[in-house]
Chains A and B, each alone.
Chain A
Amino acid sequence: MTDGDHRNEAEEEDVASPVELRRGIEALGVGDIKKLKLIARFWWSHYELQGRSGGPEDLLQDAIERCLKEGDDRRRWPKKRTTLVKFLDGVIRSIASHEVESAVRERKREDAVYALGATPRPSGSATPVRPQPSPNAESRVAAREELEDIEALFDGHPRTLEALRCKAQGMTEGEIRKALQIDQREMERIKKQILRAFVTYKKSNGDDHGNQ
C-alpha cells in the first residue's frame, strides 16, 4: 500500500457517511438552524443574487440537497475537521460564488458573440437564465478574495476592528481582551455589534422582498 493509499483511507474515515450526514442534519438544533438561515441570507446578499429564483432559503435547501444527493459530486462533510454548520456554510458560499462565476462567464461569452457583429444584441437584456452579476459581485469573484470592506462596516468603531484583527490572527476571546486591555463587558459589546452587523448585512439587497 502506498502513502497515497494510506492518505486516501484516512480521508475516507474522516468523511461522514451519507447516513451520518443525514442524521447530523436531522439533529441540528434550533440555534444551528437559525444560524444557517442567516448564513444563507448573508451569502445571498454578499454575492447579490437577487436575480436567482427563490430566496436565501432556496440557497440553504440547495446546499443541503447537494450534500444528500447520491453520486460522486456529492458534497462530503469532513466530520472530524469541521462542524456541520461550518461545513454547510462553505457549501452555501460555494454555490453562491459559483453562480456568479457562471453568470460572468456566460456574459463574457455573449459579449464575444455580439462583438463579432454577426448577430445584433437584442435591445434590453435577454431573459437571464442565471442571475445577472453586479459589477461588485463580479469583482469579488474575479479576485477570489473577500473584497467587502469590513473596515467600512465598522467605520468609527476602532475597538471592534482591533478585535477582528486579533481574531484574524487566531486569538481566543481571552487573548483579545488581554491584547486590547478591555473587560468582559466591552468584549460583549463588541460581539453584539458584530452580530448586529451580520444580521443586517446588506439586508436591503437580499431580503426585503419577503425573503427574510
Chain B
Amino acid sequence: METSKRGKLFSAFLDFVHEASESELDQALRSEGEDPNDVYLRGQTAIEKALSRHPGPLEEDVEFHEQPIDQALKNGFSTLVRLLRQREKMSMEDLAERANVELREVVQIEVDADYVPEPRTVFQLERIFDLPPRTLVLLSGSMTSHPQEFRDKVERFAARSKGIDKLDRKQRKALNQFVQFLAEEAKARGYSR
C-alpha cells in the first residue's frame, strides 16, 4: 500500500477515536483493565499544571461566587438561547447533540428560571451559535456586576421576546441587534481580545 493511503488509514483510525463518546471510551478502557477515572485524573492534573504555569486574565474578569440569581439576566439568557436555537432551526435535542451537552441541561436553561449553567455549557453554546466570546457569559449568572442600563436592556429584550415560537424578519433583526449589543458590551468590558 502506498504511504499516502496508509496515512489516510491512520487518520481514519484516529477519526473513530475522536468521534467516540465518553461511555464508549470508558468501555474500551474497562475491557482492557484500566480505570477511566484514573485516566481522567492524570489528564486533569496535567491540564491544571499547564494552566497554573500560565495564569491568564480570566480570573480577574469573572466573579464566580455564590450570589442570588439575577432574575432579569437569567430570563434574558433563557430567552436568548431559545431564540438563537429557533433562528438556527434546531430542536432542543439538536442543540444538545451539537453542543455536546446533556439534553437535560438545555431544557433547564430554557425553562428553569433558577438554573445556572455550567461554564463549559455556556462556552459550548457560544461556539455553536458562533457568538463573540463572553457574549452569553454576561447573562449566564456567573457574572454579578452590571450597570443598571445593561440590566434594563436585557429585561426589555426578554419581555418583548416572550411567547415567540417562530421568528419573523423583524424579530430576527431584533435578536441580531441584541447579540450585537452584548458583543459590544463584552468588548467594552475587555472580555474579548
Our pick among A18, A27, A29, A61 for the contact of B50 (Cβ within 8 Å) is: A61
- The answer to whether A17 touches B45, judged by C-beta atoms less than 8 angstroms apart, is no
Does B169 belong to the interface (CB within 8 Å)?
Answer: no
Segment of A97-105, A121-129, A195-203 engaged in the interface with chain B: A195-203
- By beta carbon, the residue of chain A nearest B22 is A31
Number of interface residues of B (CB under 8 A): 60
Q: Identify whether the interface residues of A are mostly helix, strand, loop, or mixed.
A: helix
Cα distance A61–B49 in the bound complex, in angstroms: 7
Minimum C-beta distance from A169 to chain B (A): 8
- The answer to whether B3 touches A150, judged by C-beta atoms less than 8 angstroms apart, is no
How many A residues are at the interface, by size bracket? 35 or more
- The answer to whether B27 touches A192, judged by C-beta atoms less than 8 angstroms apart, is yes
Does A141 belong to the interface (CB within 8 Å)?
Answer: no
Our pick among B7, B29, B120, B191 for the contact of A28 (Cβ within 8 Å) is: B120
Does B107 belong to the interface (CB within 8 Å)?
Answer: no
Our pick among B15, B16, B32 for the contact of A199 (Cβ within 8 Å) is: B32
- A contacts, CB < 8 Å to B: 17-20, 22-31, 33-40, 57-58, 60-62, 64-65, 68-69, 79-80, 83, 85-86, 89, 143, 145-151, 153, 164-165, 167-168, 191-192, 194-200, 212
- B contacts, CB < 8 Å to A: 1, 3-18, 20-22, 24-29, 31-32, 34, 36, 38-40, 42-47, 49-51, 53-54, 56-58, 61, 100, 119-120, 123-124, 127, 130, 133-134, 191-193
